[in-house]
Amino acid sequence: MFQKMLIDGKMVSAEDTIDVINPATEKVFATVPKGTTEHINSAVAAAKKAFPAWAARPEWERQEIVAKMAQAVEDNADALARILTQEQGKPLPEALGEMAWSQGYMGHYATLSVTGRTIQDDDDFDIRMRRVPLGVVAGICPWNFPLLVPLWKIGPALVAGNTVVIKPAPTTPVTILRYLEICNEFLPAGVINVVTDENDLGPVLTAHPDVAKVSFTGSTATGKKIMASSSGSLKRVTLELGGNDPSIVMPDVDIPETAASLYGGAFLNAGQVCLAVKRAYVHEDIYDDMCEALGKIADAAIVGDGLEQGVTMGPIQNKAQYEKLKVLLAAAKKDGKIVSGGLVEDKAGYFIRPTIVRDVTDGDEIVDLEQFGPILPVIKYKNTNDVLERANNSDYGLGASVWSKDIAAATQLAERIQSGSVWVNQHINIGPHIPMAGFKSSGIGVEQSAEGFEEYTQVQVLNIAK
């Protein structure tokens, strides 16, 4: 399968290509063009050229185009999901779930509206605040949700009146390329452009003088580089970065029920989710029982090729992350006790069984570092003040959760956690209408919701003397 880039309404090749590897087989699944600096410049120029006419369109027309994009996900969900599973690894039911999320998010974005307000209107002055589009938006996307995350950026950017250049992850570019080829039948030329690379063109895109805003989802280390690269022209930046998300489990919970929910929050997409449970703090009174319950669920997982019937967990998406996780797994075995999993199978594919590690604590690598994979450390605690301090003792603050039958007590504890999203008796309940933001090194700005939508606009005040 060969999938081209989209630049200025045309499907574009390049002199060189990139092999896209199926992580379940380690075989080449598809090839895509290896973009160059010239392709980035052409994409930005096309977006800049298309911007005035797109911004001048009535808002309802922009909403209508985004609604068509939502419909295109639904109409092509089965085919796109199979592509996504082959390049990303997640089981086909999860890939279909990503299609449903993508359609729902784009459908919601199609209802958004740019709003302003009247500040003063009297005999002397008519003062209004309005919101206007920024211009060209660069979206740089990760490999864990190859369709959903680009659409998080494309949808609000377009409705607000901006044009877009997307750079997908080099290991998962195929789904978004194929999807936008489908949408190109009704998209105005230059409004959306996609350039593929080997992670070498990010600085070219983020430093480009004609890019007004960069929206990035990925690692904190890369986010810092993007901030530095964008600073030369004072670009707007939205950075949704890493997390080492804690869950605090109080002693009064229903153990089987909570274990099932914790497992789901930790191992969705093989743990390759920025908001996944990364550290589970469990009260000493129920620690042994909770570790046992989590282990039994992990034992029942069916790990394999996501296209195979019955598979509940796919491979790690790429070799680099796989090798990193093997190092963390070795450290976890040294520092703690493996309750379930801990196995790296000697066969093709980047497979690691879901792993529960007990008897580890703060200071151990598997607790302090964001694993971004199917390894869950379970840490014992004695009292609320102690566990709160330990949960907050991190450079990150993206997501967290508290679990208890006493909702009032759990909420009081949740309010003291330094995290952009804190759930009570649930984890990863997100939606396009809910703000997503990070404390500390987990990011800058807001995605999703009305607040996130506004980040794709510039405030302008009209101050008219009567």
Residues classed as catalytic:
240, 274
Element (H, E) at 282: strand 279-283
* Coil, helix or strand at residue 454: helix
For 319-376, give the secondary structure using H, E and C.
HHHHHHHHHHHHHHHHHCEEEECCCECCCCCCCECCEEEECCCECEHHHHCCCCCCEE
Other beta carbons less than 10 A from residue 235's beta carbon: 22
Task: Record the tokens describing residue 292, joined without a space.
Answer: 């046992």
Contact 313, 354 (CB under 8 A): yes
- Alpha helices, DSSP H, located in 164-318: 174-183, 202-206, 220-230, 255-267, 287-299
Cα gap 303→265, rounded to integer Å: 17
Chain centroid to CA 192: how far?
20
For 117-166, give the secondary structure using H, E and C.
EEEEECCCEEEEEEEEECCEEEEECCCCCCCHHHHHHHHHHHHHCCEEEE
Buried b (16+ CB within 10 A) or exposed e, 334-354: ebbebbbbbebeeeebbbbbb
Contact 393, 362 (CB under 8 A): yes
Please choose, from the candidates 278, 252, 246, the residue with its C-alpha nearest in 3D space to the C-alpha of residue 407. 252
Task: Record the tokens describing residue 308, joined without a space.
Answer: 């195979």
Chain centroid to CA 395: how far?
19
